[in-house]
Amino acid sequence: MPSRLKPVDVVIVGFGWTGALMARELGDSGLKLVALERGGDRDTDPDFQPGVMHDELRYAVHHRLMQDVSRQTITFRNRRDQTVLPMRQLGSFLPGSGVGGAGVHWNGRHWRFLPSDFELRSHISNRYGAGFIPPDMSIQDWGVTYDELEPFYDRFEYLCGTSGQAGNIAGRQVPGGNPFEGPRRRGYPTPPLKSSWAMVLFEDAARRLGFHPFPQPAANLSRPYTNPEGAAMGACLYCGFCEGFGCEVRAKASPQATLLPAIRRNPNFELRTNSMVLRVNLDGNKTRATGVTYLDARGQEVEQPADLVVLCAFALNNVHLLLLSGIGKPYDPDSGQGVVGRNYAYRIVSRAGLFFDNQVFNPFMGAGALAMCIDDFNGDNFDHAKRGFIGGGTIFCGSTGGRPIQYHPVPDGTPRWGAQWKKAVTRYYNRSCQVTAHGSTMAYRGNCLDLDPTYRDFYGRPLLRMTYDHQDNDIRMSHALTEVCQQIGKAMGARQLSVELAPTPYSIVPYQTTHNVGGATMGADPKTSAVNRYLQSWDVANLFVMGASAFPQNTGSGPTGTVGALTYWAADALRNRYLKSPGPLVPI
């Protein structure tokens, strides 16, 4: 029998970005809050100090900040007629674990989605006709608009101290920023980062080609900043140990750097680490959550009753918990019925590798989000009618830190090893840069998540089963963007170019990105969404599900800005409406 603890008002499952934001937003309500985090505690000092962190092998190769797949993994296949097998090592994506979650190791690419992204099906139908959307593409509107989220985007940017150049302040175009962005109420809290030499070349080439380059919005701070929570953050050192690492000077926004000091001051808040939530418990009618059951550090089952449960795990793990707990109707791709596991989407990444004779890039100098970008081919910023596909992406040239185990680019035709390989690595380590396209993937009827019938995790639970492949629409989009990457690369003066396309069929082996989205999507219709526009479960009104699991499909921009904004948006509805009158915030 699990031990049963005293009830609390709110239990938060997972303590990364969304868990920390929710803990802070509900913190002054007088409620008793408990956050359960599967991993351990860690903080900037001593855990992220350079004598620990500047270790490529430990963190980038051995993934010491990431989910331990010996405990929890997925099974995977490209199509439903294939034998499904477990993901035995991390590869394509890297969910974080421990206090701060992926908010510790993320790059800091801090985007807003485009206004049309939130109304994708309506927008595409209106502009190109409903017939433009392929029949198996299950894209949909979010149920929330850019204008509604704008104040919350703003709050999250000012929490993070994000560096950038505004392109559109209240409808007024601002030179040097992203001319395609939705209107923002004010500029970024801190000015853009310094440009690396590769970015200087990219900016010049993109401008000559008629594109609109701007510095990527970066939650890597260009100067010291004190945020509205009173947290003092440092200026970026361009140390090159950022993506996949924790920041030593609080220059990369993380829950630790922005929120934890304020959260820890709340006597009504308790953080329990090494606490692995196994399921959400429901009442007899399965309409109300009664709390959660978790394993403590010694492997003992503990039941934590609560009036309100907020799932704040990684997107895939939120969906896993919903399926394991019997919350919401599981999606069935044959009938198209059901919602949990529906519309899982990813991202499609490609790049041009540029090799120069006479340019020196010092690739080890950098920051996770240090890049020059164009948004000319993102979303619906360009005419898709002649292209015949939906979607797009950001194209950028960045300097994220060329650590040599994983970064030693060589031109096509170089042998895999030996004297020639060694010469090429030596010659090109400092004479290369890349132009990368991060493209959207749409949602499709066959790309989905459910429970695996065979394989179990360390805790004895069925693994989450992922069925996913890149689809023709997205592959064609990616090819078009890759051509632009090459075009810019040539204009930058590269002597030689190599092209790296996304693996097709999609493979879980090479790292691509951790922008896994969907599976518990938000929307206006309970038949096609698991949560309503406030991220509240349609089926269990005292359960809210944060994070990118709510995205109905992916966009061409990084997800974290929107994850933060949606959490503030949901917390606002919780505080101002739900707590006053608990129940469905949207009538069914």
Partner 1 sequence: MRLHMPVFDRRRFLQVLGGAGAAVALSSAAGAESAPDTNAEPVPAPPAPQAGPDQMEQQTAGLPDAATTYRPTDKPSGRALVFFTAVEAAFVGAAIERFIPADDGGPGAGEAGVLCYIDRQLAGSFGAGHRMYLGGPWPDGALPSQGYQLPLTPADLYRLAIAEIHQASRQANGGKTFAELSGEQQEAMLQSLDKGELHLPSAPGKAFLDLLLANTVEGYFGDPAYGGNGDLGGWKMIGFPGARGNYADAIVLYRNKPYDELPLRLVDLQN
Question: Which residues are tagged catalytic?
Answer: 515
What binding mask, one character per residue, do residues 263-292 give for partner 1 by CB under 8 A, x or -? ------------------------------
Q: Does 365 bind partner 1 (CB under 8 A)?
A: yes
| Short-list 79, 149, 15, CA closest to 470 | 79
Q: Does 174 bind partner 1 (CB under 8 A)?
A: no
- Which of 228, 232, 426, 459 is the binder for partner 1 (CB under 8 A)? 426
- Which of 32, 42, 77, 329 is the binder for partner 1 (CB under 8 A)? 77
C-alpha 310/C-alpha 550 separation (Å) is 13
Q: Which is nearer to partner 1, 314 or 506 (CB)?
A: 506
Q: Minimum CB separation from partner 1 for residue 507, in Å?
A: 4
Q: Minimum CB separation from partner 1 for residue 214, in Å?
A: 18
- Which of 359, 471, 482, 549 is the binder for partner 1 (CB under 8 A)? 359
**With contact defined as beta carbons under 8 Å apart, do 457 and 71 qualify?**
yes
Q: Minimum CB separation from partner 1 for residue 542, in Å?
A: 34
**With contact defined as beta carbons under 8 Å apart, do 437 and 478 qualify?**
yes
Q: Does 454 bind partner 1 (CB under 8 A)?
A: yes
Q: Which is nearer to partner 1, 257 or 271 (CB)?
A: 257
Tally the C-alpha atoms within 13 A of residue 210's C-alpha that lie toward its C-beta.
3
Q: Minimum CB separation from partner 1 for residue 497, in Å?
A: 20
- Binding segment (CB under 8 A) for partner 1, from list 50-58, 183-191, 336-344, 525-533: 50-58
Region 385-424 residues binding partner 1, contact defined as CB under 8 A: 399, 402-405, 408, 416-419, 422-423
Region 478-517 residues binding partner 1, contact defined as CB under 8 A: 503, 505-509
Q: Which is nearer to partner 1, 346 or 568 (CB)?
A: 346
What binding mask, one character per residue, do residues 175-204 give for partner 1 by CB under 8 A, x or -? -------------------x-xx--x----
DSSP element (H, E) containing 353: strand 347-355
| Short-list 371, 373, 374, 361, CA closest to 242 | 371
C-alpha 357/C-alpha 260 separation (Å) is 47
How would you classify the pairing of strands 301-311 and 8-13? parallel
Tokens representing 189 are 């809290």
Region 224-243 residues binding partner 1, contact defined as CB under 8 A: 235-241
Region 290-309 residues binding partner 1, contact defined as CB under 8 A: none
- Binding segment (CB under 8 A) for partner 1, from list 63-71, 141-149, 554-562, 571-579: 63-71
- Residue 549 is given by DSSP the state G
How would you classify the pairing of strands 214-215 and 371-374? antiparallel
Tokens representing 409 are 């680019």
Q: Minimum CB separation from partner 1 for residue 64, in Å?
A: 6
**With contact defined as beta carbons under 8 Å apart, do 211 and 381 qualify?**
no
Tokens representing 550 are 């709510």
Q: Taking the CB of residue 169, how many other CB atoms lie within 10 A of it? A: 15
Q: Does 461 bind partner 1 (CB under 8 A)?
A: no
The alpha helices in 184-313, defined as continuous H runs, are 197-208, 255-258, 260-264
Q: Which is nearer to partner 1, 384 or 465 (CB)?
A: 465
Q: Which is nearer to partner 1, 62 or 495 (CB)?
A: 62
| Short-list 260, 267, 271, 266, CA closest to 304 | 271
Q: Minimum CB separation from partner 1 for residue 199, in Å?
A: 10
Q: Which is nearer to partner 1, 125 or 274 (CB)?
A: 274
- Binding segment (CB under 8 A) for partner 1, from list 89-97, 113-121, 371-379, 516-524: 89-97
Q: Minimum CB separation from partner 1 for residue 310, in Å?
A: 28
**With contact defined as beta carbons under 8 Å apart, do 507 and 558 qualify?**
no
| Short-list 20, 121, 43, 9, CA closest to 546 | 20
**With contact defined as beta carbons under 8 Å apart, do 419 and 385 qualify?**
no
Q: Minimum CB separation from partner 1 for residue 43, in Å?
A: 18
Q: Which is nearer to partner 1, 239 or 289 (CB)?
A: 239
Q: Which is nearer to partner 1, 181 or 457 (CB)?
A: 457
**With contact defined as beta carbons under 8 Å apart, do 582 and 404 qualify?**
no
Q: Minimum CB separation from partner 1 for residue 423, in Å?
A: 6
Q: Does 87 bind partner 1 (CB under 8 A)?
A: yes
Region 528-567 residues binding partner 1, contact defined as CB under 8 A: none
Per DSSP, the residues of 284-319 read: TTSSSEEEEEEE-TTS-EEEEEEEEEEE-S-HHHHH
- Which of 91, 179, 191, 462 is the binder for partner 1 (CB under 8 A)? 91
CB within 8 Å of 434: residues ≥ 6 apart:
351, 352, 353, 354, 397, 398, 409
- Tokens 């220059």 -> residue: 251
Q: How distant, in Å, are the alpha carbons of 69, 72, 296, 340 from that of 90? A: 7, 11, 25, 24
Residue type, 140: Q
Q: Minimum CB separation from partner 1 for residue 358, in Å?
A: 9
- Binding segment (CB under 8 A) for partner 1, from list 150-158, 363-371, 434-442, 555-563: 363-371
- Which of 142, 269, 429, 578 is the binder for partner 1 (CB under 8 A)? 429
